[in-house]
């Protein structure tokens, strides 16, 4: 299980969210409160949108709390849309390639959760990728693979549908090998314009997800746990939800894996 | 605050102590029970004695729990005398040079604790070093500096006296700048023959220290907290103690900083 | 292209080969003489056999010339059979998982060369792996994949045949996608008893390979280039050769990819 | 010896200088043409000025050619004033703290060259620092120490004088211990407004230094060797020169160590 925070709004210094708040993401890397494991020391990453369509990416394997580069970058870089993540590995080595966010073209993705029984279905899922998506596989995590499944499922044109169908493929793959599906998916993604998030788990125990205002309403956050409980107006997102946040609005709709479609496709 | 374990006896695989026990040092890097901070993720290190008079040294800045090299080295290397350490920084960057153990010639040293108010007395203490000791300074920690003070105080011929006098120098340096001395010193050191440990704090709140048998009495350990509480015969060492462990015996005597001598020397 | 050295004989300190000679493997990491690229700074690795059937493994991503851990380990560890490698990436990120040697059970493997056109045949080759071999895939390099192909081809019982058949699979995979096969394979492997090496290239331009005595005949080396040209009795191994070195003898036989068998298997 | 490049002008993407040109700084990390050593693989660093008075700082110990973070940061970050450096160690471990640029408040500094005989005068020079400068010492290099000497010599108000007096202190320290002064100093520094550079060596063999236009005259560079020889209008700066570059002008004046003043101060 991991911790993450995403922001959309007026450009702010990354440190305003990542390092400065009393319960900032960096603080959560040491002492998360709502996570199964309080320590998220298996690497970290940032994806931020600036002057180019595709995001910048900075990932490293140190614990976030001890990386001076991270501190300086967050102090220097301003962005109106970014994703930040601290990792607690559920499998997969501690390497940069296994750190979130993952990036492809304009899209970025980060994940708290896991694909249960991944070792039993990893190969089938990788084989189901298109050559284009397979060619982007750099690491060994379930999270990166989920991102590639989403890309194959038409992420650019239909984010909600792509996440749903990717979840359906994971569930279907589990069923085919006789394993009870066990997907936990509290994730954020962006194309540089809007910010999307999903909270879902096959067993109903989805990791927490919150939205909240920031910086005098000039921007909004989506986070795995609030970084500033006292001053924020945090709203808990219910399980089985999909959040679409633009600069003007935040909408929440129901989320379910696209199992029906996949069952037909088989 | 950190966690550490040292062993003297028949040669065993390092993993028998460092990674295999249920509450091994690696496990303590994630979830220490008797430490102020449960997480010791700011690097780690091993010093082990083998076919040479001086020890081998392996230190890195990853959390110990996620380093595959550490796991393989501990599985492969056998030694009859070694020191192992997981670090929780109290100041000083996360760099290999700041990881314990520190080594000089045949001597190795590792430390749980800190020199309180170090930033106020660091320069005076460094200036008090001989050129030979100063030339060995590689990092920026209080712990390495304490080791160099011990070397200057005649460590090879008189370990107990050298630790005592080094502690005295730290206390004296605090007093000179009008700072209440605040030394916490639960440390282990070795010359490749015997294993020494000290438990002391100026405020009487010294970090814990234990000795215990291991592997059917073929060897003994000195640890900051037991790694196998159920099966061990762990003995808590009282504060203000100095432990000398040889292959045949373990003796405990009173420890106090050598303040008198230093007061005269000033 | 990379540089490597392997040793079989009386136990010696690793440093006698890896760091001490005037043109040691460490020196070659900075200034190789017979390699296409003089700099081999994309990581390094050691696999050595000691008290266990399986080897120890130490790999890191720094240039070998600047790693103090490597220097201390090589100074401390004695072994009668070991493989050492410095990497110059021909593709594949600089990560520990992509550093040689690769290890599986008792077997270790390291490679100088490359699978030409790897990006066009990688997926087909990975799909051809057994589940057992696929499950051991940790990185993204052509070299690790070649090792896994060898394991699938019966490495333990028939090293020469397994290397031959693995080479055949690579060549066949290239042909199937209409790519001219371009395999360069100067590699060493071991099961902890014997030391094997191969020198082969589809275009006849195989990277160099030498055998030579060491330490007053108490041991022998196989290397990609001699580390001590003046004092050694180095023997250049001709292309298309397979070397089998035991503690008592060194034999060289012809090597060719097992294309015939594979053609039938299709 | 190292390689570096600095830029002042209209904001450009860092990659336009650091990674994109045919003989970019990244290319020079692998194959420098005018350096004593062609390989500059002992770490790298960036300091860039953006929305804050003090610069951002990104340093790491990998060779610059293999760091994906560096590539992404250079692709994303725009700046009108930045310093970039690739390191070839002349002593001092490969650690982040030893990588250039060094930063203090608004000031940044990077260096190609060395203080000859540093081990003989290091302690005296460190002892000569003010407490404020000493407290900023993070690493062990001669270059960082030179930066701190400059800060003590009044860098903010008088850059040319501060560099001169710092050089004088180094030369004086060598003389006091009976060592022939051997300072090589091709360095760049900035306060976020102007860009300064110096080329000097006690033996007259100063490492090279060039200025040149860039990007259609919208900006200018100061570099240790040109990154784009064919298209640039590079001007070699003569030894014993001090360069002051503002957004409007570049001036070159004679540089000599401030030895007279120091001789009096003794």
Q: What angle do CA A43, A46, A51 make, to 5 degrees?
A: 160
Per-residue pLDDT tens for B115-169? Answer: 999 999 999 999 999 999 999 999 989 999 999 999 999 999 999 999 999 999 9
Q: Which residue among C13, C52, C60 places its CB closest to the CB of B76?
A: C52
Q: Which residue among B13, B59, B69 places its CB closest to the CB of C59?
A: B69
Residue D95: closest CA among chain C residues belongs to which residue?
Answer: C66
Residue C74: closest CA among chain B residues belongs to which residue?
Answer: B56
Contact C56 B78 (CB under 8 A): no
Q: Which residue among D30, D39, D93 places its CB closest to the CB of C30?
A: D39
D94 CA to chain C: closest CA distance, Å?
6
Report the SS3 class of residue B94: coil
Residues contacting C210, CB < 8 A, separation 6+: C221, C222, C223, C224, C225, C226, C234, C235, C236, C237
Q: What secondary structure, in 3-state letters, does A117-151 show?
A: CHHHHHHHHHHCCCHHHHCCCCCCCHHHHHHHHHH
User: Helix axis angle, B142-152 relative to B118-127, nearest 10°?
Assistant: 30
pLDDT confidence bin for C261, thresholds 50/70/90: very low
How far apart are alpha carbons D198 and B198 in whole angstroms?
52
Decide if D221 is catalytic.
no
Chain C residues with beta carbon closer than 8 angstroms to that of B50: 76-78
Asked if the C-beta of D39 comes within 8 angstroms of chain B's C-beta atoms, the answer is no
Q: Are C170 and C192 in contact (CB under 8 A)?
A: no
pLDDT confidence bin for A48, thresholds 50/70/90: very high
How far apart are alpha carbons A42 and A39 in whole angstroms?
9
The mean predicted confidence, pLDDT, of chain C is: 90
A189 CA to chain D: closest CA distance, Å?
19
Among B32, B35, B41, most A C-beta atoms within 10 A, so best to mutate, is: B41
Chain C residues with beta carbon closer than 8 angstroms to that of B66: none
**D50 — phi, psi (to 5°)?**
-135, -115
Which pLDDT score is estimated for A164? 98
Least confident range from B130-134, C86-90, C259-263, D139-143: namely C259-263
For the annotated catalytic residues of B, the residue numbers are 2
* Residues of chain D falling short of pLDDT 50: 260-266
| Mean pLDDT score, B44-70 | 94
How far apart are alpha carbons A242 and A251 in whole angstroms?
8
Chain B residues with beta carbon closer than 8 angstroms to that of D138: 93, 140
Chain A residues with beta carbon closer than 8 angstroms to that of B39: 30, 38-39, 41
Q: How many CB pairs under 8 A join C and D?
A: 36
The mean predicted confidence, pLDDT, of chain A is: 90
How far apart are alpha carbons A48 and A192 in whole angstroms?
8
Residue D122: closest CA among chain B residues belongs to which residue?
Answer: B135
Chain A residues with beta carbon closer than 8 angstroms to that of D72: 56-58
Residues contacting D223, CB < 8 A, separation 6+: D4, D5, D6, D209, D210, D211, D212, D234
Is the pTM higher than 0.80? The answer reads yes
Nearest to B45 by CA among B91, B112, B122, B132: B112
Contact A123 C131 (CB under 8 A): yes
Residue A130: closest CA among chain C residues belongs to which residue?
Answer: C123
Contact B119 D127 (CB under 8 A): no
**A18 — phi, psi (to 5°)?**
-80, -35
B72 CA to chain C: closest CA distance, Å?
6
ipTM of the complex: 0.91
Per-residue pLDDT tens for D177-206? Answer: 999 999 999 999 999 999 999 999 999 999
Per-residue pLDDT tens for A85-99? Answer: 998 877 677 889 999
Residue C228 has pLDDT above 50, yes or no: yes
Which pLDDT score is estimated for C265? 39
Asked if the C-beta of A98 comes within 8 angstroms of chain B's C-beta atoms, the answer is no
Q: Are A49 and A42 in contact (CB under 8 A)?
A: no
Residue B266 has pLDDT above 50, yes or no: no
Residue B73: closest CA among chain C residues belongs to which residue?
Answer: C56
Chains near B (3 or more Cβ pairs under 8 Å): A, C, D
User: Helix axis angle, A142-152 relative to A118-127, nearest 10°?
Assistant: 30
Report the SS3 class of residue C67: coil
Per-residue pLDDT tens for C143-161? Answer: 999 999 999 999 999 999 9
The mean predicted confidence, pLDDT, of chain B is: 90
Q: Which residue among D41, D67, D93 places its CB closest to the CB of C41?
A: D41
Beta bridge partners of D253: D242
Chain B residues with beta carbon closer than 8 angstroms to that of C96: 68-69
Looking at residue B65, the DSSP 8-state letter turns out to be G
Which pLDDT score is estimated for A260? 38
Which pLDDT score is estimated for D261? 46
Chain B residues with beta carbon closer than 8 angstroms to that of A89: 66
Considering the candidates D2, D74, D99, D221, report the single residue annotated as catalytic. D2
Asked if the C-beta of D62 comes within 8 angstroms of chain B's C-beta atoms, the answer is no
pLDDT confidence bin for C125, thresholds 50/70/90: very high
Asked if the C-beta of C29 comes within 8 angstroms of chain D's C-beta atoms, the answer is no
| Mean pLDDT score, B176-180 | 95
pLDDT confidence bin for A124, thresholds 50/70/90: very high
Among A43, A59, A91, A93, most C C-beta atoms within 10 A, so best to mutate, is: A93
Among D13, D58, D60, D76, most A C-beta atoms within 10 A, so best to mutate, is: D76
Structure tokens at B266: 């000033």
Residue D95: closest CA among chain B residues belongs to which residue?
Answer: B95
Q: According to DSSP H, which parts of chain A are helical? A: 15-18, 25-31, 68-76, 118-127, 131-134, 142-152, 159-176, 259-265
How far apart are alpha carbons A4 and A187 in whole angstroms?
9
| Mean pLDDT score, C4-8 | 95
How far apart are alpha carbons A151 and A164 in whole angstroms?
12
DSSP per-residue letters across C81-97? EEEEEE---SSS-S-GG
| Mean pLDDT score, A238-246 | 97
């Amino acid at each position: 299980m991991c911790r993450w925070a995403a922001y959309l709004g007026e450009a702010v210094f990354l440190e305003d969210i990542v390092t400065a708040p009393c319960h900032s993401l960096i603080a959560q890397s040491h002492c998360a409160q709502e996570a199964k494991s309080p320590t998220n020391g298996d690497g970290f990453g940032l994806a931020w949108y600036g002057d180019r369509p595709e995001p910048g990416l900075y990932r490293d394997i140190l614990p976030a709390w001890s990386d001076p580069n991270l501190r300086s970058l967050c102090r220097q870089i301003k962005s109106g849309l970014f994703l930040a993540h601290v990792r607690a590995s559920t499998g997969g080595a501690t390497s940069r390639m296994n750190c979130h966010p993952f990036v492809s073209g304009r899209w970025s993705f980060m994940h708290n959760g896991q694909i249960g029984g991944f070792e039993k279905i990893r190969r089938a899922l990788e084989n189901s990728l298109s050559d284009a998506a397979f060619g982007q596989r750099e690491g060994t995590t379930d999270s990166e693979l989920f991102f590639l499944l989403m890309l194959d499922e038409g992420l650019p044109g239909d984010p909600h549908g792509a996440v749903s169908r990717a979840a359906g493929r994971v569930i279907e793959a589990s069923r085919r090998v006789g394993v009870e599906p066990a997907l936990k998916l509290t994730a954020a993604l962006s194309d540089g314009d809007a910010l999307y998030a999903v909270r879902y788990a096959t067993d109903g125990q989805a990791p927490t997800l919150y939205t909240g205002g920031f910086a005098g309403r000039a921007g909004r956050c989506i986070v795995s746990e609030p970084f500033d409980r006292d001053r924020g107006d945090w709203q808990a997102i219910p399980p089985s939800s999909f959040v679409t946040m633009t600069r003007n609005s935040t909408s929440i709709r129901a989320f379910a894996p696209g199992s029906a479609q996949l069952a037909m496709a088989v």
